[in-house]
Amino acid sequence: MPLRTKRWNDPVDAEDGWRLLVCRYRPRALKKRDETWDAWNANLAPSRKLHADLYGKNGPPIDWEQFRQRYLEEMRSQGAAIDQLAGMLAVGKTITLLCSSACTDASHCHRTLLKELIEREIPSKSS
């Protein structure tokens, strides 16, 4: 039940399995034929407001801990999508969560937080 994370423009590997883009915004100027993902779920990304707050577009930028708490709160409304991904993993599917090319530090990226949320749900699907 491998669950991986990458940036959307990282090289595609055979081990990636099903690639899901979890960005709020689609990469600019990228032609549809050049997409590197199988599906896109913008609702698993930070809201527009949270994204803007992180980058200081509504005042001083928020810190990582504030972002983390608010993102996890937002994901409470995405339980069905998270549950579906956990179910896919529980039956042996490999999934790679893809984020923005600008997000170079996976330890401070929502894709890592999302990965943790999904992994917590897998045991309930394996029964």
8-60: per-residue pLDDT in tens?
999 999 999 999 999 999 888 889 999 999 999 999 999 999 999 999 999 99
24 in Cβ contact with 43 (< 8 Å)? no
Domain residue spans of the chain: 3-48+76-126
Q: Which residue has the tokens 């897998």?
A: 122
Is residue 3's pLDDT more than 90? yes
Alpha carbons within 13 A on the beta-carbon side of 2: 10
- Tell me: the pLDDT tens digits for 63-81? 999 999 999 999 999 999 9
Work out the average pLDDT over 73-101. 95
Helix, strand, coil percentages (3-state) for the chain, rounded to 5, are 50, 15, 40
The pLDDT assigned to 100 comes to: 86
How far, rounded to the nearest angstrom, does the alpha carbon of residue 69 sit from its chain's CA centroid? 15
**φ, ψ dihedrals at 112, nearest 5°:** -75, -40
Q: How far apart are CA 71 and CA 111, in angstroms?
A: 11
